[in-house]
Amino acid sequence: MRGGRHIAAVSGASFDLAAGECLVLVGESGCGKSVLASALLGLLPGNAQTAGTAHADGVELLGASERTLARTVRGRRIGLIPQSPAAHLTPVRTVRSQLEETLRELTSARGRELRDGAVAAAERAAFPADHLDRHPHELSGGLAQRAATALALVGDAPLLLADEPTTGLDRELVGRTTDELRRHVDEGRALLMITHDLAAAERIADRVAVMYAGRIVELADAKRFFGEPGPRHPYARGLLSALPERDFTPIPGLPPELGALPDGCAFAARCAVATPACDTRPAFEDALACHHPSAQETARA
């Protein structure tokens, strides 16, 4: 709720995520990606309302109490790499002490095992060992990001939510981070990754979910999405075309405000293949929410 109005930040989102699989959620800023991740962990503001079901490792997340989420879900069943890592790090404690505390809570590690575990966690996230005794305010944005990644990986939770995990990293570190997250998945865990970095998404994803104006508008196999025949939704195709290594052609216009969505397709005003049929909101069928999949294929050809 904002200013006495109800705003549907995310609506009708439906997907599954298996162990050993990475689903990457992409879309422009403000489309609802981070809201969806926060809802799964019960981290939305107090005036937010949720409806529906979301299960993880036997727990119904949306109906769980704060006590259940804090004691049995966060860090244990679901790890989180937050979008704003500095806000999630304890400012008065060093990175080492936070890693050791997390290890102590989630494992039976003690003494030397605890100290070695903290160093190993930092190494997994490419966090330099000689920075472990620094406080969060002494870290750059990229180092804070890597510290948060190390904390999220400590417990080897069955599901990891990574919200923009490569923000502030150079391309080499982006590659190292995505490769470590991929290794995490290949060991039999699930990963929901939210990112603007489509190059990182292509490197790590098994499937891609495209979100626009609070709705998932396409779910696709990653190889088909980034290769041939490519995305089916015109918005998804526009995201790829905007990449410098592709057409470098931006999508015209701006997304609609979530509090003032049109009755029909929310992308119609920016879409090159829109017709009067788009005045009606398309249903999500066959992993796609669009009235003109055949027209898209014709335009692409």
Which position has the higher pLDDT, 8 or 219? 219
Out of 105-119, 151-165, 189-203, 250-264, least confident range: 105-119
The pLDDT tens digits for 244-258 are: 999 999 999 999 998
Q: Give the residue-averaged pLDDT of 163-176.
A: 92
Is the pLDDT assigned to residue 225 strictly greater than 50? Answer: yes
Nearest to 219 by CA among 205, 209, 232: 209
pLDDT of the residue at 294: 52
Cα 58 to Cα 53, 117, 152, 246, distances in angstroms: 12, 28, 20, 42
pLDDT in tens, 142-151: 999 999 999 9
Bridge partners of 24? Answer: 193, 208
Q: What is the pLDDT of residue 109?
A: 74
Within a 10 A sphere around the Cβ of 54, how many other Cβ atoms?
16
pLDDT of residue 295: 43
Mean pLDDT, the chain, rounded, equals: 91
Q: Give the contacts of 175 (CB within 8 A, at least 6 positions apart).
A: 203
Residue 2 has pLDDT above 80, yes or no: no
Cβ count within 10 A of residue 301: 6
> What is the pLDDT, as a whole number, of residue 43?
92
CATH for the stretch 22-212: 3.40.50.300
What whole-number distance in Å separates Cα of residue 96 and Cα of residue 102? 10
pTM of the predicted model as reported, rounded to 2 decimal places? 0.92
Write down the domain spans for the chain.
22-212
pLDDT band at 297 (very low <50, low <70, confident <90, very high): very low
Q: What pLDDT does 301 receive?
A: 36
Range with the lowest mean pLDDT among 45-59, 124-138, 195-209? 45-59
